[in-house]
Amino acid sequence: MYQHRDWHGALLDFPVNKVVCVGNNYADHIKEMGSQVSAEPVVFIKPETALCDIRQPLAIPKDLGAVHHEIELAVLIGTPLKQATEDRVANAIAGYAIALDLTLRDLQTKFKAAGQPWEKAKGFDGSCPISGFIPVSEFGDAQQADLRLLVNGETRQEGNTHNMLTPLLPLIAYMSRYFTLRAGDIILTGTPQGVGPLKAGDEIVATLNGKSVSTRVI
């Protein structure tokens, strides 16, 4: 069972709750997906059962079409937020991590075309592999964070959080208008361009500001 940990593997004293995500938060990713920039952030939720330790082998669904990787900066909420100001958001963040928003792309495409929700494509068990968290005091400027994803030694995704269309603090404040964010909730902040399929046997290295974690797909 997944539990929040720090970067070195020590348990953190936060409950495991929901994951609140944003789609289409990088212009280059919007372009590669053939989507349009939205007037407001595109928000969706993964349940706690989506969370898993990225350092463990990743079991992806079989017979449900393509499973795509999307590397993202993850934010751990440390104190509750509701209708929060950006100042309150800044004081509520406990740490940052690397996450993958795994997506059943064929299913998502079908649901979009039919005007149906994405939950089955985005919230399936194990769809949010995540690293341990780096404390805010040790992280630096989260709005200038480098993200990189290698698959089998090839760079697939590379970007920096300064390119977010909706930056971190206003994004989380916006989310808190609709969902009370509790201690232990995780925010996923969007992915840069380069998303693509994963298959059994792939070796993955995900890097955040020079700190890397590795895993493999089974």
Tens of pLDDT, residue by residue over 8-30, are 999 999 999 999 999 888 888 77
pLDDT at 44: 96
pLDDT at 41: 93
- Contact between 12 and 133 (Cβ < 8 Å): yes
pLDDT at 39: 81
Three-state secondary structure call for residue 123: coil
- Contact between 29 and 193 (Cβ < 8 Å): yes
Whether 6 is in a domain gets the answer no
Contacts with 87 (C-beta within 8 Å, 6 or more apart), sequence order: none
Question: Hey, how many other C-beta atoms are within 10 angstroms of the C-beta on 42?
Answer: 17
Tens of pLDDT, residue by residue over 123-170, are 999 999 999 999 999 999 999 999 999 999 999 999 999 999 999 999
Whether 101 is in a domain gets the answer yes
Whether 5 is in a domain gets the answer no
Task: Say how many domains are in the chain.
Answer: 1
In this structure, what token pair is assigned to residue 200?
């059994």
pLDDT band at 3 (very low <50, low <70, confident <90, very high): very high
Whether 11 is in a domain gets the answer no
pLDDT band at 104 (very low <50, low <70, confident <90, very high): very high
Between strands 103-104 and 196-198, the pairing is unpaired
Whether 4 is in a domain gets the answer no
Give the DSSP per-residue string, 130-171: E-PBEEHHHH--GGG-EEEEEETTEEEEEEEGGGBSS-HHHH
Whether 9 is in a domain gets the answer no
Three-state secondary structure call for residue 181: strand
- Does residue 34 carry a pLDDT above 90? no
What range does the domain containing 72 cover? 18-217
pLDDT band at 36 (very low <50, low <70, confident <90, very high): confident
Whether 10 is in a domain gets the answer no
Cα 158 versus chain centre, distance:
14
Three-state secondary structure call for residue 102: coil
Nearest to 43 by CA among 135, 145, 210, 176: 176
Find the distance separating the first CA and the last CA of the chain, reported in whole Å.
18
Nearest to 167 by CA among 138, 144, 136, 139: 144
Whether 163 is in a domain gets the answer yes
Question: Hey, how many other C-beta atoms are within 10 angstroms of the C-beta on 140?
Answer: 12
- The enclosing domain of 198 has a CATH number of 3.90.850.10
Three-state secondary structure call for residue 61: coil
